[in-house]
Amino acid sequence: MDRASICTRRALPKLLLAAAGLAANLAVAEERAADLPADIAACAQVRIDAERLACYDKAVAPQVRGAAESPQASDSAASAAVASASRNVAKVDDRGSFLDEFWELSQERKRGTFNFLGFRPNYFLPAHYTTKLNTHPTSPAPGHSGQLPDYSSVEAKLQISLRTKLLEDVGFPGGDLWFAYTQQSLWQLYSADISRPFRSTDHQPELLYVVPAPLDLPLGWKVKMAGLGLAHQSNGQSDPFSRNWNRWYALAGLENGELAVTGRYNVRIHENPAQDDNPDITSYLGRTELAAIWSPGAYVFGATWKTNFDSRGSIQLDATVPVSRKDPKGLRWYVQIFSGYGETMIDYNFRQTSIGAGVALLGW
């Protein structure tokens, strides 16, 4: 492998200029110089440093080899290669942030409407253990208490969470309207004696309107976006086990290097008391939700805290790493720890701790 394989990203401009200089007075086709920008621009989408550097090496190496093997080239071809290199260095340095890419905040990141992407983590945890099961769910609502089977504390947990953009560049400059859907299930996979039922399945559709809100803060923090959302969450069951709530929420996100933090404040849409399955739900699940994602290299760590700033609420910790370092966007090992109230809707007022391990199918 040539010297390009050991260059760092900061040395990339020198590498491209050297390749262009080597091409002077040698025969290089004009088309080859024109192909360079697209190749290197594609590398800018790779978030992991080592993988991104390898992509640059692969994109630049053919240009260097071709120049060395060709006997002649014109000065204009060399100048074209230098100009192309300069444009690509600018593109590489403008890769954007996690929140930029996730919410498509800049025009360069816009993908258009009705492209389905991951929202919350998508995972399958074949090993999931809960310290204490809620076999007698209760609620202050009349007729909303009942007895459940004696489920096993060892089961499987899975989540599917997708989003798509319904409208792009609507309302405020750069504003987008999104629809998202999340489904979480706890599956008694190892309870053959009761036909392996799903112990719980929760559904959460929501609409989100997100706008770029760039603002520099002290200590390197930057506000990136703000938004409003409308969400419904329920377990789809009938009485006495029906649980649900509707809410508006305000959303904001900020970053500092590899750390991204988002915050939500929920305002419940109250129902007719005679139809309210769980009138005290916000007292347990909390009105405030703070989520952090830290992505140093191949690893991704997440933490979600739901709270009213009292003794209730919950915290969830997530960690994931690629199964294959060669495919960081593919299958990933996944570990999750939850402690507090509301791992499922039926457990909104029941405290428990659980740990699960498995694979993530799509990233955040």
Q: For tokens 């915050």, what's the residue?
A: 263
Question: Cis peptide leading into 240, omega within 30 of 0?
Answer: yes
Please answer whether residues 174 and 151 qualify as being in contact, where contact means their C-beta atoms are separated by less than 8 angstroms.
no
Among the options 74, 234, 283, 339, which is catalytic? 234
**Which residues make beta-bridge pairs with 162?**
118, 181
CA separation, residue 297 to residues 46, 294, 321 (Å): 11, 9, 9
Spell out the residues 6+ positions from residue 257 whose beta carbon is closer than 8 angstroms to its own: 220
The Cα–Cα gap between 272 and 147 comes to: 26
Is 5 assigned a catalytic role?
no
Please answer whether residues 203 and 244 qualify as being in contact, where contact means their C-beta atoms are separated by less than 8 angstroms.
no
131 burial type by CB count under 10 A (0-12 exposed, 13-18 middle, 19+ buried): exposed
Residue 289 CA from chain centroid, whole number: 16
Among the options 145, 185, 232, 339, which is catalytic? 232
Spell out the residues 6+ positions from residue 55 whose beta carbon is closer than 8 angstroms to its own: 42, 43, 46
Please answer whether residues 120 and 181 qualify as being in contact, where contact means their C-beta atoms are separated by less than 8 angstroms.
no
Is 232 assigned a catalytic role?
yes
Please answer whether residues 302 and 318 qualify as being in contact, where contact means their C-beta atoms are separated by less than 8 angstroms.
yes
205 burial type by CB count under 10 A (0-12 exposed, 13-18 middle, 19+ buried): middle
Q: Alpha-carbon torsion 111, 116, 117, 119, what sign?
A: positive
| 3-class secondary structure, 222 | strand
As annotated, the active-site residues are 232, 234
